[in-house]
Structure 1
């Protein structure tokens, strides 16, 4: 803004000198008044532009929603089996842009209405005990990843696109009577991100 004012003052001085050389005597006060009016109008436009830029940045910040987490932060171990479904808490947070995923509860809460992608996986060693997990939305079953075999590693994953309202809750339940195993390789993960916002 200071540069703009300096340029305008230099131009005004140039006009004054040219007119003086031509024998004209300009009304310097009228010229300065017009210059002040121009600078004031430019300052007003600049403030409006800065405000619009701030609002656009806030909207773009709202769109930056992505998370990815592994089941165990450290160590090695099993989760399950249990007689009831267990909400899995993915403690090893790789990414949590927008802070919509809570690593204490294992729940993602939609901060913005939009279309979201979610993916999760279940992994275990086959011992006639299945590995199974449900993707849940507000307490309702959406999709299941499931695997069972007698021996060897078993793995299943699932991905869905969901339309969420503000406050919708997404999480993964371990299926009752199933088991999953995790270690430093993070075999069991839960991830999601917003594709685009909706009105």
Structure 2
């Protein structure tokens, strides 16, 4: 039985009890009036007293019903309060768990008016210092390295920008292994390229970007060259 149904039943029982009390009072007044007017004959007296006893018993019964329903309602409300309290605790724990799984970052190479990086004869790890987002603090802007805090599937993307005649290129690495490259080459004007990859990472795995040998990339406050990543879902 729902809380509203219990309240409705209590109201109905109380109404019935009130009606019985009114009838009991009406009968009592009738008896008193008859006694004042000259008394009751022997045939009338037993019937009226019997009615009084029956009404009194009914009122007593209705009072017991009200007490029982009120007790039931209190128990139901207490149970609901406990359920709400347990639900609230579960929601708090779920929100905390979800916050622990919120991992995402995005950064550009520089905040300067304009800066070229490279070319170098060998690969160089890039540090993306202009951080837009770093939820979970898994990306280190000092080293340029992302370290996986949870086992899961992660998405990573890079974009590179430059000017010819120098080619522009950068590679995504996982634990020292080269995975994908974004590369562009033409004799003049702007160069741009991008690439991405979904990786399964264990806790402690690292992902970073290296400038491709003998290439040059450019960045400015317009944020042409970027490195981003986020957790898609966790794995057991």
- TM more than 0.5: yes
Equivalent pair of 2:10/2:70 in contact (CA under 8 Å): no
Deviation, structure 1 residue 192:
1.7
CA distance in 2, matches of 1:9, 1:149: 80
Q: Which residue of 2 aligns with 1:163?
A: 200
Equivalent pair of 2:6/2:69 in contact (CA under 8 Å): no
Give the structure, 1 or 2, with the largest relative contact order (CA under 8 Å, sep 6 or more).
Answer: 1
Which structure has the larger Rg? 2
Give the direction of change, closer, same or farther, for the CA distance of 1:103–1:12 in structure 2 (3 Å limit): farther
Equivalent pair of 2:104/2:230 in contact (CA under 8 Å): yes
Poorly superposed stretches of 4+, deviation over 6 Å: 7-10
Q: Does 1:194 align with 2:231?
A: yes
Q: Does 1:74 align with 2:109?
A: no
Q: Secondary structure at the match of 1:24?
A: helix
Q: Which residue of 1 aligns with 2:34?
A: none
Q: Which residue of 1 aligns with 2:47?
A: none
Q: Which has the higher helix share?
A: 2
Give the direction of change, closer, same or farther, for the CA distance of 1:190–1:31 in structure 2 (3 Å limit): same
Structure 2, unmatched stretches of 5+, are: 21-57
Q: Secondary structure at the match of 1:124?
A: strand
Q: Which residue of 1 aligns with 2:157?
A: 119
Give the direction of change, closer, same or farther, for the CA distance of 1:117–1:79 in structure 2 (3 Å limit): same
Q: Does 1:24 align with 2:59?
A: yes
Deviations 1:95-126 (A, max 9, x none): 33333322222222223322222110222212
Q: Which residue of 2 aligns with 1:148?
A: 185
Match runs of 1:74-153 below 5 Å? 74-127=112-165, 129-153=166-190
After TM superposition, the score normalised by the length of structure 2 is 0.69
RMSD of Structure 2 on Structure 1 (CA): 2.8
Equivalent pair of 1:8/1:35 in contact (CA under 8 Å): no
Structure 1, unmatched stretches of 5+, are: none
Equivalent pair of 1:62/1:112 in contact (CA under 8 Å): no
CA distance in 2, matches of 1:51, 1:109: 31
Deviations 1:168-190 (A, max 9, x none): 22111112332211112211111
Equivalent pair of 1:117/1:194 in contact (CA under 8 Å): yes
Q: Which residue of 2 aligns with 1:178?
A: 215
Q: Does 1:14 align with 2:11?
A: yes
CA distance in 2, matches of 1:177, 1:102: 26
Deviations 1:3-60 (A, max 9, x none): xx9x799668635623522443224665554443323222211111112222332343
After superposing the two structures, state which structure 1 stretch, 133-142 or 76-85, moved more: 76-85
Equivalent pair of 1:114/1:196 in contact (CA under 8 Å): yes
